[in-house]
Structure 1
Amino acid sequence: MVICVISSLGVFAQLPERVLVGYWHNWDEGSSLPFLELNEIDERYNVICLSFAVASGGDPADMQFNIYSGSSYNDTELKLDIADKRAEGKVVLMSVGGATGSFRLTNETKKNGFVADMKSLIQ
């Protein structure tokens, strides 16, 4: 199961009439699925899911989103690119989990830790 978290805390994103959703992945699969910087994706995508924030060691209070280490692209550049995409009217979401990134929020402490960690990732 994958969860997308809206990356704007104060205002909910308004979707356009026609939506083309795509996942921007933070890894490299070689020539079949190379790593791209966010500013290199096809402009036709108007909803972009950053994939994937994962719970380090299965702990939802320790969410991490790591950019492909084989690239010089960094967190600062990603945040600037997100701001540019938003300025273009695109919606940027943070996807949580992925194929192997499941976890459970079994109590208030874990829920609150998850929320705090996600806020720190997407602000």
Structure 2
Amino acid sequence: MNALLEVTAPQPADLTPADAFAAWALYGRPGDVCVYHHGLLTVDRDPVLSPFSAPVRQALAAVADLALAFAEAGRVLLVQERLGSGVYRYLAVIASRHKQAAKPMSRPIVLIPQVCISAMPVAASGSEP
């Protein structure tokens, strides 16, 4: 079956918040995958071509820049999956931590207080405190 996928344009509600992405990248397990955008990132960020408002473009730029910073530090791998003509799914995959030590981040990561701490994964431990 080689039919093209019918894809819809991303909506502002579909956008991944930068603080949620940062929490996922910091606390996720190797192999975990996060879809941080779908569409065409270069167009969706552009002030002239984008269908999005300035605040939505800024939020998209923040998560895309954060994904790149984590990738440059060796903490995530960035992958694009083509969904259709000019539409891609942008994924980040947490890199294996034992193959190569993560490099220090070139830019500091600032988590916005809206991240719900209770929603972050907790490392499993063999004993109770």
TM-score under structure 1 normalisation?
Answer: 0.32
- Larger C-alpha radius of gyration, 1 or 2? 2
By relative contact order (CA 8 Å, sep 6+), the higher-ranking structure is: 1
